[in-house]
Amino acid sequence: MNDSPSPSIRTQLEALYRADSRRVFASLVRILKDFELADDAMHEAFAAAVVDWQRDGVPDNPTAWLVSTGRFKAIDALRRQGRLKELQPEIAARVAEIAAENAARAGDEIEDDRLRLIFTCCHPEIDPRIRVPLTLREVCGLTTEEIAKAFLTTKGSMAQRIVRGKAKIREAAIPFAVPSLAELPARLDAVLSAVYLVFNEGYSASAGESPVRANLTAEAIRLGRLLYQLLPDPEVQGLLALMLLHESRREARVSAEGEIILLEDQDRATWNRDLIAEGIALVEGALRTRRFGAYTLQAAISALHAEAATAEETDWNQIVVLYSTLLRIEPSPVVELNRAVAVAMRDGPEAGVALIDAILARGELADYHLAHSARGELLRRAGRTADAIAALTRALETTQQAAEKRLLTTKIQQLGG
């Protein structure tokens, strides 16, 4: 028999890895309580599937098969290392404990291993600077380099943070469980931040050939819905609204050739009206509570874009007001940059350039390609061609995203650069 997997099996496994590998990993972490052991077991399970599925066919429940196989692979590894006698009773006890917890909750809390793992990674005993990167790495499978870019830091520095986070979970015996309903509010901010960063990496990928990663946006929205079922807090509602409103434009953001289409050039007829309607209803509900925060304000801004029939009809004055409010409650150079662009759309490009120059003069966002890209576009609109070419060239130097590189290169060439 041919030992190499058939194209069909290989394709199915590749698709399954993209869609479900982090679900398998989260379940193995819950059972084994060890990140490295779970990661090794997950990859061994996928490797075993290449052989076994070729011989026996794809099982009825591939994900369950992978989790079960991964558990047995981990036990085999522990046996080879002589650690099985030490850890097997603990693993068995943990399986029984999880089953008891799930039965006891009886629908009051949500049974989802990735959600459970997010709360573990965002536990109060873990350094706040580590919680979100750890979640992005372990729950969502982003590379350390991708996470470092999202946090505007180096790969080495980010790797150290993640290692410290996993060590803390192990040393403090932090449980792999969704907290009780009474504990949820205090634990929520870090989890919402993690979910939103997952969405952002999918919506605007920091590196790679494709500018979007639909699997990550879908996963973030799924987790957002689970959180909203678990705790219908206004900010959970606002975050879910924000993600849905952004997601409504995803198909219009990239051409058939994989090129980025900017917001003002998108075909608004292709925007997903069902997602827009759901998002607007959620953000309006959150605003009515008067207990909302940053995510709801960002969702309100996105709703104004969604409600405008054309780019020219966008209510830029209201968007500037919302960004000003957002800047007061959550000061951030990125929020300040977005407000500067909105001011430029309302008051003219030179007004926006002045605000962006002030941000860059403070040394903030010096390596943030979107700051230089926005500045270059505003300089182009102001007729300052040489300055625009310089700014766009700087943006080109600082982005790792292939489609963004192509877009910036085209803009520079159109300006004669």
Mean predicted confidence (pLDDT) in 14-28: 87
pLDDT value of residue 102:
42
Of 79-93, 225-239, 268-282, 323-337, the least confident: 79-93
CATH architecture designation of domain 7-106:
Orthogonal Bundle (1.10)
Quick: pLDDT tens for 58-94: 898 898 899 889 988 888 877 776 654 555 555 545 5
Domain with CATH 1.10.1740 in the chain: 7-106
Q: Name the pTM for this structure.
A: 0.74
Neighbours of 233 (CB within 10 A): 20
Quick: pLDDT tens for 80-136: 766 545 555 555 455 445 444 444 433 333 347 888 888 899 898 898 889 888 988
More reliable by pLDDT, 246 or 231: 246
HEC per residue, the chain: CCCCCCHHHHHHHHHHHHHHHHHHHHHHHHHHCCHHHHHHHHHHHHHHHHHHHHHHCCCCCHHHHHHHHHHHHHHHHHHHHCCHHHHHHHHHHHHHHHHHHHHHHCCCCCCCHHHHHHHHHCCCCCCHHHHHHHHHHHCCCCCHHHHHHHCCCCHHHHHHHHHHHHHHHHHCCCCCCCCCCCCHHHHHHHHHHHHHHHHHHHHCCCEECCCCCHHHHHHHHHHHHHHHHHCCCHHHHHHHHHHHHHHCCHHHCECCCCCECCHHHCCHHHCCHHHHHHHHHHHHHHHHHCCCCHHHHHHHHHHHHHHCCCHHHCCHHHHHHHHHHHHHHCCCHHHHHHHHHHHHHHHCHHHHHHHHHHHHHCCCCCCCHHHHHHHHHHHHHCCCHHHHHHHHHHHHHHCEEHHHHHHHHHHHHHCCC
Quick: pLDDT tens for 355-377: 999 999 999 899 999 999 999 99
pLDDT value of residue 90:
56
Please list the residues that pair with 62 across neighbouring strands. none
pLDDT value of residue 3:
52
pLDDT value of residue 224:
92
Mean predicted confidence (pLDDT) in 235-264: 93
pLDDT at 381 over 90: yes
Domain with CATH 1.25.40.10 in the chain: 319-417
CATH class of the 319-417 domain in this structure: mainly alpha
pLDDT at 334 over 90: yes
pLDDT value of residue 99:
44
